[in-house]
Amino acid sequence: MPPVSHTLLNRIEPRVFDLPFLYVALFGVYVALIGVLIWAYRRGV
């Protein structure tokens, strides 16, 4: 893991929707990145 995600997102105890916080946070990052790709594709960059 990169240092940022290791220090900020490496939390097992807080659970969101009965999943470890790390998985939920990484899922949010991936969704944001896919959103940027779709936005750039629609814009024609």
In the chain, what are the domain boundaries? 3-43
Token pair of 28, please? 């949010």
Token pair of 9, please? 């997102």
Residue 14 has pLDDT above 80, yes or no: no
Residue 3 has pLDDT above 70, yes or no: no
Rg (CA), the chain: 14
pTM value?
0.62
Phi and psi at 16, nearest 5°, equal -120, 125
Instruction: Tell the burial category of 26 from Cβ atoms under 10 Å away from its Cβ (0-12, 13-18, 19+).
Output: middle
Q: Where are the alpha helices (DSSP H) in 1-45?
A: 3-8, 21-43
